[in-house]
Amino acid sequence: MIVLKDLTKEFGKESNKVVALDNVSCELPQGKFISIVGKSGCGKSTLLNLIGGLEKPTSGSVIIDGVDLYAKKESELAYYRNKTIGYVFQDFYLEPELSVIDNVSVPLIIAGKKAQEISRLAQDRISALGLESKTNEPTKNLSGGQKQRVAIARALVADASIILADEPTGNLDSDNSSEVVAILRRLADEGKTVIMVTHNLEEARQADITVEMKDGKIVEIKDRQ
Amino acid sequence: MNRNSIFALAKQGLKANKKSTKTIIAMMAVSMIIIIPVFVLLMGVSVSMNAELNKAPYLLYLSASFEDYRQNEKGASRLAGYERADRRIVYEEYTLTDEFLSVEVNMIVEDREFSLAGETSNIAILDAEKSNILLPKNFDKAGGLFVEGCDEAFSGDGRGQIILSQALLDKLGLSAHDVYGKEVSIYANSRQQEVDGYVCYKYRVVGVIKSRFYNEFKKETEHPMRSWFFVVDTNVYRNDEPVLRLVGGSEGYANIADKVSLNQEQRYMMLDIGKSHFRNTSVYVEADSYRDLLLTKEGIADEHVGESAAFSGYRLLYKIAQSLGFMLMLTGIVLLIVTIAYYFLNVRFDVEKRKKYMMMLRAMGAQKQDLPKIYMVQAIIICAKASAIFATIGFGVCVGIKYAVNAVMKLGVPGAMTAISISWLSIIVPIIAMVALIFATAIFIGYASVKSVSKKEIIETLRGE
């Protein structure tokens, strides 16, 4: 269970302070496909980043499997990100000159896996996402949809249990968007916790649970199951 | 992250910047290949030249016009001005005994107190009975008397003639008659003959310097001891006539030879031990003192002015090497600076370009301190590759230069010189020094450039704020 407790995140100093998250509390079950929707600036991405341990909250806590994320030390938090979280961003953040397999291997390298294992696991993930023919292709040569699949492969390669996707379809056409959402759906069906931030209500409907946000607060949680 | 992970990510980083990495490696290697052989060549020629000088102790028979020389009521004397480190002008005046004036000698040995300047030349006078040595009485290695100056002027078979100072004899309780015509053994810096555990060489005493006067600020004072006299500056007389002058010293042979062969009359500072600085035609020393000599070729027979053909060759080569070296060195240094600047800018540009990727690394589990380490390893890999190239090629070029120069010199210079001695050490030392320099610079640049980025917040950087 992912428990958010009185979570507040403020940006800026006193005079021009912006409250991105305002005392948010909720419980999100694991192993589900969760979408977070809302208008721009409502705090969706901030919530995702706080769950992922990328940003520290101003106050409150994020408790995952009974452990307060922000009570951890910097090194423990880095370890948590490597072992538990997989990120997928709208802008992919791939290294364009490196091949697909090199990009996908990075979390495994950080985890300190051996070269053979890295190669095997990365290859498996690439194949699972239908990119085997592109394994040694520099990512700069790939289409947007292919790049996002590489990013998903990278997020999954270290066997993360939580996949955080921040507008993963934002830069993709409708066909590629559907494909990416379908992949995320499949991952949730396989038991991963997938949390996706999106503007697209159609995509959000693919999720098991939809969290709607407004002005830094959660206004509704819809559980379709 | 463990070491393997950092190494793997560093390799990935280089792969991602393949083109600029190759350019940097090439630039580093080329600049080093230009710089190293120049260093080596200059060092080699210089070492060879010095070795040649050491082989020929009488290489330089110089004659000064000796304007300062004069007869006085006590005998012959000369006046030489020198400036001490404290900028006081000090004049000294030698007054020589009759014995000195009547014999042909080839050096003067100065007396000095061992402990005065903390200098470490151990010149000891040993037991007379055992080794036909005079002046043994008060010898005490720790604080006793020493004679010095022979080291530079004498070599070869280690035998010659000597003049001792009266001050020294006084201290030993001896008169000039006790020592005149006798042989003394002098221990001097690992010289040829060993006597009673000391390495010695022998001289026949042919004269005694009776006294010396120093004129400091025009006030005549007798100084019984001097600590700084290291330069040998000897006038050779025959029948009261100065016939030639022998100048030697711990430093300055090459410089003197250079100036004299050009027949330049100029004021020249004779060095003492210590660091020297050349400024225009003068030499300044940081330490104790120096003398100011006026050297010309005027008034001496040609046969007394000369140098070995080999030395001539070396000097010519040295001049060529110096001129070429200067140009090459300048090119190399400019190229090195450009390389370092290019590397610096490239790393900065790369860091800027890959800032978001680096934050992704952190999002994927890398820690803040891992990022500078990755760039440091990249720097090490680049330097190692560049070093391997330039060390190999540079070494080859050095050896090539060594043989090429020898061949050219043998063809072109009368009285062909012997081979230039470029030792392995003189090749390896500059190579290691250069490798160390570029490693240190590159690692610093790699580390410093990423340090600030690594501290940034992940999300803020990813958002481009």
- The string of DSSP codes covering B257-269 is HHHHHTT--EEEE
In the prediction, which pLDDT does A145 show? 85
pLDDT in tens, B111-129: 333 222 222 232 333 222 2
In the prediction, which pLDDT does A119 show? 92
In the prediction, which pLDDT does B75 show? 36
B388 or B216: which carries more pLDDT confidence?
B388
- Which residues of A fall within a CB distance of 8 Å from B361? 106, 110
* Residues 6+ away with beta carbon under 8 Å from B8: A109, A115
Q: Is the pLDDT of residue A203 over 50?
A: yes
Contact A107 B365 (CB under 8 A): yes
CA A151 to chain centre: 10
Q: What is the mean pLDDT of residues B214-242?
A: 35
pLDDT in tens, B272-283: 323 333 333 333
B203 or A125: which carries more pLDDT confidence?
A125
pLDDT category at A122 given cuts 50, 70, 90 is very high
Establish if A140 touches chain B: CB-CB under 8 angstroms.
no
Token duo for residue B280: 């225009």
- Measured between CA atoms, the residue of chain B closest to residue A160 is B364
Contact B458 A102 (CB under 8 A): no
- Measured between CA atoms, the residue of chain A closest to residue B367 is A78
Determine contact, residues A6/A59, Cβ cutoff 8 Å.
yes
A 10 A CB-CB count for B7 gives 18
CA distance B88 to B100: 31
Determine contact, residues A175/A206, Cβ cutoff 8 Å.
no
Sign of CA dihedral B197, B201, B202, B205: negative
CA distance A115 to A156: 18
Q: Is the pLDDT of residue B446 over 90?
A: no
pLDDT in tens, B395-428: 787 777 767 766 766 665 544 445 555 667 777 7
In the prediction, which pLDDT does B27 show? 79
Domain chopping of chain A, boundaries: 2-223
In the prediction, which pLDDT does B205 show? 60
- Which residues of B fall within a CB distance of 8 Å from A74? 367-368
Tokens 């000891």 found at: B124
Determine contact, residues A50/A7, Cβ cutoff 8 Å.
yes
Establish if A95 touches chain B: CB-CB under 8 angstroms.
yes
Contact B364 A107 (CB under 8 A): yes
Nearest-by-Cβ selection for B366 from A49, A78, A91: A78
Q: Which of A110-124, B134-148, B328-342 has the lowest mean pLDDT?
A: B134-148
Determine contact, residues A1/A62, Cβ cutoff 8 Å.
no
How many residues belong to chain B? 465
Q: Which residues pair with A4 in a beta bridge?
A: A26, A62
Q: What is the mean pLDDT of residues A204-220?
A: 89
pLDDT category at B157 given cuts 50, 70, 90 is very low
CA distance A24 to A6: 5
Calculated CA dihedral for residues B386, B392, B396, B397, nearest 10 degrees: 10
CA distance B102 to A182: 115
Q: Is the pLDDT of residue A142 over 80?
A: yes
pLDDT in tens, B382-398: 888 888 888 788 778 77
CA distance B201 to B184: 8
How open is the CA angle B406-B390-B401, to the nearest 5 degrees? Answer: 5
What are the E-state strand segments in chain A? 2-11, 18-28, 33-38, 59-64, 67-68, 85-89, 162-166, 193-198, 209-214, 217-223
The fold adopted by the segment(s) A2-223 is Rossmann fold (3.40.50)
Predicted complex: ipTM over 0.90: no
Report CA Rg, chain B: 31
Q: Residue B104's closest CA among B3, B250, B206?
A: B206
Establish if A76 touches chain B: CB-CB under 8 angstroms.
no
A137 or B202: which carries more pLDDT confidence?
A137
A166 or B51: which carries more pLDDT confidence?
A166
Establish if A55 touches chain B: CB-CB under 8 angstroms.
yes
